[in-house]
Amino acid sequence: STLSTTNIKPTTNTIANQTLVPPNVSSNYDKTIETIKQSKKFQPTVLNCSSGNQTCSSNYPTTTLETEKNSAVCPEYFRWIHEDLKPWKEKGISREMVEMAKKTAHFRLVVKNGKGYLEKYQESIQTRDVFTVWGILQLLRKYPGKVPDLEIMFDCNDKPVVPMGLYDGPNVIGPPPVFGYCVDRWSQDIVFPDWSFWGWAEINIRPWENLLKDIKKGNEKIKWNDREPYAYWKGNPFTALTRLDLLKCNASTTHDWNVRLFSQDWIKESEQGFNHSNLADQCTYR
Protein backbone atom coordinates (compact mmCIF):
# COMPACT_ATOMS: atom_id res chain seq x y z
CA SER A 1 0.00 0.00 0.00
CA THR A 2 2.82 2.42 0.74
CA LEU A 3 4.17 2.05 -2.79
CA SER A 4 1.12 3.72 -4.29
CA THR A 5 1.52 6.90 -2.28
CA THR A 6 3.66 8.65 -4.88
CA ASN A 7 1.67 7.47 -7.84
CA ILE A 8 1.62 10.51 -10.11
CA LYS A 9 -1.49 9.49 -11.99
CA PRO A 10 -4.44 11.06 -10.12
CA THR A 11 -7.05 8.66 -11.51
CA THR A 12 -5.49 5.79 -9.57
CA ASN A 13 -3.87 7.65 -6.70
CA THR A 14 -6.67 7.92 -4.19
CA ILE A 15 -6.77 6.57 -0.66
CA ALA A 16 -10.10 6.66 1.15
CA ASN A 17 -11.40 9.03 -1.55
CA GLN A 18 -8.63 11.56 -0.93
CA THR A 19 -6.75 12.56 -4.07
CA LEU A 20 -3.09 12.93 -3.21
CA VAL A 21 -1.75 14.43 -6.43
CA PRO A 22 -2.80 17.63 -8.23
CA PRO A 23 -4.60 17.00 -11.56
CA ASN A 24 -2.02 18.94 -13.60
CA VAL A 25 0.61 16.27 -12.94
CA SER A 26 -1.05 13.51 -14.97
CA SER A 27 -0.12 15.08 -18.31
CA ASN A 28 3.57 14.65 -17.46
CA TYR A 29 3.36 10.95 -16.67
CA ASP A 30 4.01 9.46 -20.13
CA LYS A 31 6.65 12.13 -20.76
CA THR A 32 8.46 11.00 -17.60
CA ILE A 33 8.41 7.37 -18.76
CA GLU A 34 9.94 8.31 -22.11
CA THR A 35 12.59 10.50 -20.47
CA ILE A 36 13.69 7.63 -18.25
CA LYS A 37 13.74 5.19 -21.17
CA GLN A 38 15.97 7.52 -23.19
CA SER A 39 18.35 8.10 -20.27
CA LYS A 40 21.74 6.38 -20.46
CA LYS A 41 21.13 5.14 -16.93
CA PHE A 42 17.82 3.55 -17.83
CA GLN A 43 17.56 -0.10 -16.81
CA PRO A 44 14.38 -2.11 -17.43
CA THR A 45 13.75 -4.23 -14.36
CA VAL A 46 11.08 -6.63 -15.54
CA LEU A 47 11.36 -9.69 -13.30
CA ASN A 48 12.83 -12.48 -15.42
CA CYS A 49 14.76 -15.35 -13.85
CA SER A 50 14.96 -17.64 -16.88
CA SER A 51 18.72 -17.23 -17.41
CA GLY A 52 21.51 -19.06 -15.62
CA ASN A 53 20.54 -21.54 -12.92
CA GLN A 54 17.34 -19.76 -11.94
CA THR A 55 14.07 -21.68 -11.99
CA CYS A 56 11.54 -18.85 -12.31
CA SER A 57 9.27 -18.80 -15.31
CA SER A 58 9.58 -15.83 -17.66
CA ASN A 59 5.85 -15.93 -18.42
CA TYR A 60 4.19 -13.95 -15.68
CA PRO A 61 0.46 -13.32 -15.35
CA THR A 62 -0.62 -9.71 -15.76
CA THR A 63 -3.83 -9.97 -13.77
CA THR A 64 -4.88 -11.46 -10.45
CA LEU A 65 -7.91 -13.69 -10.04
CA GLU A 66 -10.28 -12.24 -7.46
CA THR A 67 -10.93 -14.90 -4.82
CA GLU A 68 -12.44 -12.68 -2.14
CA LYS A 69 -15.33 -10.26 -2.19
CA ASN A 70 -14.41 -6.60 -2.04
CA SER A 71 -14.81 -5.20 1.45
CA ALA A 72 -16.03 -1.70 2.18
CA VAL A 73 -13.85 -1.62 5.31
CA CYS A 74 -10.14 -0.93 4.87
CA PRO A 75 -7.64 -2.93 6.95
CA GLU A 76 -6.57 -1.31 10.21
CA TYR A 77 -3.01 -0.70 9.03
CA PHE A 78 -4.28 1.55 6.22
CA ARG A 79 -4.48 4.39 8.73
CA TRP A 80 -0.69 4.59 8.66
CA ILE A 81 -0.88 5.57 4.99
CA HIS A 82 -2.66 8.75 6.04
CA GLU A 83 -0.03 9.32 8.72
CA ASP A 84 2.86 8.87 6.27
CA LEU A 85 1.24 11.21 3.74
CA LYS A 86 0.15 13.90 6.17
CA PRO A 87 2.83 16.39 4.95
CA TRP A 88 1.16 16.39 1.50
CA LYS A 89 -2.47 16.45 2.62
CA GLU A 90 -3.00 20.14 1.83
CA LYS A 91 -0.92 20.67 -1.32
CA GLY A 92 -0.74 17.18 -2.77
CA ILE A 93 2.39 15.87 -4.50
CA SER A 94 3.54 17.86 -7.51
CA ARG A 95 6.04 17.05 -10.24
CA GLU A 96 8.37 19.71 -8.84
CA MET A 97 8.37 18.03 -5.42
CA VAL A 98 9.25 14.68 -6.97
CA GLU A 99 12.15 16.15 -8.95
CA MET A 100 13.48 17.88 -5.81
CA ALA A 101 14.05 14.41 -4.36
CA LYS A 102 16.85 13.78 -6.89
CA LYS A 103 19.20 15.75 -4.63
CA THR A 104 19.46 12.79 -2.24
CA ALA A 105 17.82 9.86 -4.06
CA HIS A 106 19.84 6.85 -5.13
CA PHE A 107 17.29 5.77 -7.71
CA ARG A 108 13.91 6.49 -9.26
CA LEU A 109 11.52 3.58 -9.75
CA VAL A 110 8.56 3.79 -12.13
CA VAL A 111 5.91 1.09 -12.43
CA LYS A 112 3.94 1.20 -15.67
CA ASN A 113 1.45 -1.51 -16.61
CA GLY A 114 2.94 -3.91 -14.08
CA LYS A 115 6.55 -3.47 -15.26
CA GLY A 116 9.31 -1.76 -13.30
CA TYR A 117 11.75 0.79 -14.73
CA LEU A 118 14.80 1.97 -12.82
CA GLU A 119 16.86 5.13 -13.18
CA LYS A 120 19.97 5.08 -11.00
CA TYR A 121 21.54 8.32 -9.76
CA GLN A 122 24.32 7.19 -7.43
CA GLU A 123 25.82 4.09 -5.88
CA SER A 124 24.29 2.92 -2.62
CA ILE A 125 26.11 1.32 0.29
CA GLN A 126 26.88 -2.28 -0.68
CA THR A 127 23.83 -3.80 -2.43
CA ARG A 128 21.03 -2.04 -0.59
CA ASP A 129 19.49 -0.73 -3.79
CA VAL A 130 19.63 -4.16 -5.46
CA PHE A 131 17.80 -5.90 -2.64
CA THR A 132 15.26 -3.08 -2.33
CA VAL A 133 14.39 -3.25 -6.03
CA TRP A 134 14.30 -7.03 -5.79
CA GLY A 135 11.65 -6.73 -3.07
CA ILE A 136 9.55 -4.44 -5.25
CA LEU A 137 9.84 -6.84 -8.18
CA GLN A 138 8.59 -9.65 -5.96
CA LEU A 139 5.62 -7.45 -5.08
CA LEU A 140 4.83 -6.97 -8.77
CA ARG A 141 4.96 -10.70 -9.36
CA LYS A 142 2.95 -11.64 -6.27
CA TYR A 143 0.14 -9.20 -7.10
CA PRO A 144 0.11 -8.98 -10.91
CA GLY A 145 -2.16 -6.25 -12.17
CA LYS A 146 -2.84 -4.90 -8.67
CA VAL A 147 0.13 -2.56 -8.24
CA PRO A 148 -0.97 0.75 -9.81
CA ASP A 149 1.22 2.89 -12.03
CA LEU A 150 3.51 4.83 -9.73
CA GLU A 151 6.75 6.72 -9.41
CA ILE A 152 8.96 6.85 -6.31
CA MET A 153 12.30 8.39 -5.39
CA PHE A 154 14.35 6.30 -2.99
CA ASP A 155 17.21 7.12 -0.61
CA CYS A 156 19.26 4.11 0.55
CA ASN A 157 21.24 5.71 3.39
CA ASP A 158 20.70 5.11 7.10
CA LYS A 159 19.44 8.52 8.17
CA PRO A 160 16.35 10.54 7.13
CA VAL A 161 16.93 13.30 4.55
CA VAL A 162 13.71 15.38 4.71
CA PRO A 163 13.82 17.59 7.84
CA MET A 164 10.49 18.58 9.32
CA GLY A 165 9.66 22.29 9.09
CA LEU A 166 12.06 23.07 6.26
CA TYR A 167 9.28 23.13 3.67
CA ASP A 168 6.50 24.82 5.68
CA GLY A 169 4.80 28.04 4.65
CA PRO A 170 2.26 29.17 2.02
CA ASN A 171 4.86 30.17 -0.59
CA VAL A 172 7.15 27.19 -0.13
CA ILE A 173 7.08 24.07 -2.25
CA GLY A 174 6.08 21.11 -0.12
CA PRO A 175 8.62 18.52 1.05
CA PRO A 176 10.00 16.09 -1.54
CA PRO A 177 8.36 12.64 -1.22
CA VAL A 178 11.42 10.51 -0.47
CA PHE A 179 11.18 6.84 0.45
CA GLY A 180 13.80 5.44 2.80
CA TYR A 181 14.49 2.93 5.55
CA CYS A 182 14.38 5.36 8.47
CA VAL A 183 12.24 8.16 9.84
CA ASP A 184 12.03 9.91 13.20
CA ARG A 185 10.01 12.63 14.91
CA TRP A 186 12.12 15.33 13.24
CA SER A 187 11.76 14.14 9.64
CA GLN A 188 9.16 13.52 6.93
CA ASP A 189 10.66 10.66 4.95
CA ILE A 190 8.25 7.91 3.87
CA VAL A 191 9.38 4.74 5.58
CA PHE A 192 9.91 1.56 3.54
CA PRO A 193 10.89 -1.98 4.66
CA ASP A 194 14.60 -2.33 5.35
CA TRP A 195 16.58 -3.93 2.52
CA SER A 196 17.82 -6.66 4.87
CA PHE A 197 14.28 -8.08 4.94
CA TRP A 198 15.26 -9.67 1.61
CA GLY A 199 18.79 -10.48 2.79
CA TRP A 200 22.09 -8.74 3.57
CA ALA A 201 24.63 -10.65 1.53
CA GLU A 202 27.70 -8.69 2.64
CA ILE A 203 27.36 -9.79 6.27
CA ASN A 204 25.89 -13.23 5.63
CA ILE A 205 22.33 -12.46 6.77
CA ARG A 206 19.69 -14.52 5.02
CA PRO A 207 16.23 -13.29 3.94
CA TRP A 208 13.92 -12.80 6.91
CA GLU A 209 11.61 -15.67 5.97
CA ASN A 210 14.53 -18.12 6.21
CA LEU A 211 16.24 -16.40 9.12
CA LEU A 212 13.07 -16.48 11.21
CA LYS A 213 12.99 -20.28 10.99
CA ASP A 214 16.63 -20.45 12.11
CA ILE A 215 15.99 -18.14 15.06
CA LYS A 216 12.99 -20.21 16.16
CA LYS A 217 15.17 -23.32 16.20
CA GLY A 218 17.94 -21.50 18.04
CA ASN A 219 15.44 -20.22 20.58
CA GLU A 220 14.52 -23.79 21.50
CA LYS A 221 18.09 -24.88 22.34
CA ILE A 222 18.25 -23.30 25.80
CA LYS A 223 15.27 -22.98 28.13
CA TRP A 224 14.50 -19.50 29.40
CA ASN A 225 15.41 -20.23 33.03
CA ASP A 226 18.77 -21.70 31.97
CA ARG A 227 19.90 -18.61 30.06
CA GLU A 228 22.22 -15.87 31.25
CA PRO A 229 20.06 -13.51 33.38
CA TYR A 230 21.12 -10.31 31.63
CA ALA A 231 19.85 -7.93 28.98
CA TYR A 232 21.86 -8.46 25.78
CA TRP A 233 22.95 -6.36 22.80
CA LYS A 234 25.52 -6.92 20.07
CA GLY A 235 26.23 -4.66 17.12
CA ASN A 236 28.40 -2.01 15.52
CA PRO A 237 28.57 0.84 18.06
CA PHE A 238 30.10 3.35 15.65
CA THR A 239 26.99 3.99 13.55
CA ALA A 240 25.34 6.30 16.11
CA LEU A 241 26.27 8.26 19.23
CA THR A 242 23.42 6.60 21.10
CA ARG A 243 25.09 3.23 20.60
CA LEU A 244 28.35 4.53 22.03
CA ASP A 245 26.39 5.84 25.01
CA LEU A 246 24.81 2.43 25.41
CA LEU A 247 28.22 0.80 25.83
CA LYS A 248 28.77 2.92 28.95
CA CYS A 249 26.15 0.73 30.64
CA ASN A 250 28.31 -2.37 30.28
CA ALA A 251 29.57 -4.20 33.33
CA SER A 252 32.72 -2.78 34.92
CA THR A 253 34.74 -3.25 38.10
CA THR A 254 32.53 -0.72 39.89
CA HIS A 255 29.07 -1.15 38.35
CA ASP A 256 26.93 -3.94 36.97
CA TRP A 257 23.62 -2.86 35.43
CA ASN A 258 22.70 -6.45 34.54
CA VAL A 259 23.39 -5.95 30.85
CA ARG A 260 25.97 -7.54 28.57
CA LEU A 261 26.95 -5.44 25.56
CA PHE A 262 29.27 -6.54 22.75
CA SER A 263 30.85 -4.70 19.81
CA GLN A 264 30.51 -6.38 16.43
CA ASP A 265 33.53 -5.94 14.15
CA TRP A 266 32.10 -6.84 10.76
CA ILE A 267 35.43 -6.62 8.92
CA LYS A 268 37.02 -9.10 11.29
CA GLU A 269 33.90 -11.25 11.20
CA SER A 270 33.94 -11.43 7.40
CA GLU A 271 37.60 -12.51 7.47
CA GLN A 272 36.77 -15.31 9.92
CA GLY A 273 33.77 -16.70 8.06
CA PHE A 274 30.98 -15.10 10.15
CA ASN A 275 31.38 -17.67 12.91
CA HIS A 276 30.30 -15.33 15.71
CA SER A 277 27.49 -13.30 14.15
CA ASN A 278 24.79 -15.85 13.42
CA LEU A 279 21.62 -14.48 15.03
CA ALA A 280 20.23 -17.97 15.53
CA ASP A 281 23.14 -18.76 17.87
CA GLN A 282 22.59 -15.75 20.12
CA CYS A 283 19.48 -16.86 22.01
CA THR A 284 21.49 -17.40 25.19
CA TYR A 285 20.39 -14.41 27.28
CA ARG A 286 17.06 -13.50 28.82
Using CA atoms, how far apart are residues 110 and 121, in angstroms rounded to an integer? 14
Residue 38 shares a structural domain with residue 134: yes
For residue 34, the model assigns a pLDDT of: 56
> Residue 246 falls within a domain, yes or no?
yes
The domain boundary, picked from 176, 198, 220, lies at 198
Average pLDDT estimate for 2-20: 30
Q: Where are the beta strands (DSSP E) in the chain?
A: 14-15, 18-19, 42-44, 107-112, 115-120, 150-154, 178-180, 190-191, 231-235, 259-263
Residue 262 shares a structural domain with residue 139: no
The domain boundary, picked from 174, 198, 222, lies at 198
Which domain covers residue 230, as residue numbers?
A: 207-281
CB 208 within 8 Å of CB 200: no
> Residue 194 falls within a domain, yes or no?
yes
- Judge if pTM exceeds 0.75: no
Residue 143 shares a structural domain with residue 242: no
Average pLDDT estimate for 25-30: 42
> Residue 257 falls within a domain, yes or no?
yes
The domain boundary, picked from 198, 216, 251, lies at 198
| Closest of 153, 148, 199 to residue 175, by C-alpha | 153
Portion of the chain with pLDDT greater than 90, in percent: 51
Instruction: Note the pLDDT tens digit of each residue in 171-184.
Output: 888 899 999 999 99
Residue 20 shares a structural domain with residue 139: yes
Instruction: Note the pLDDT tens digit of each residue in 137-170.
Output: 889 988 888 899 999 999 999 899 999 989 887 7
76, pLDDT greater than 90? no
Residue 169 shares a structural domain with residue 233: no
Residue 253 shares a structural domain with residue 119: no
Residue 75 shares a structural domain with residue 215: no
Using CA atoms, how far apart are residues 210 and 215, in angstroms rounded to an integer? 9
> Residue 165 falls within a domain, yes or no?
yes
> Residue 171 falls within a domain, yes or no?
yes
> Residue 286 falls within a domain, yes or no?
no
Residue 10 shares a structural domain with residue 56: yes
Residue 105 shares a structural domain with residue 214: no
Residue 167 shares a structural domain with residue 39: yes
Instruction: Note the pLDDT tens digit of each residue in 28-68.
Output: 445 544 554 555 544 444 444 444 444 455 566 777 766 55
> For the chain, first and last CA: distance in Å?
36
Residue 150 shares a structural domain with residue 271: no
Number of domains within the chain: 2
Residue 126 shares a structural domain with residue 242: no
> Residue 46 falls within a domain, yes or no?
yes
From the number of C-beta atoms within 10 Å of its C-beta (0-12, 13-18, 19+), residue 85 rates as: buried
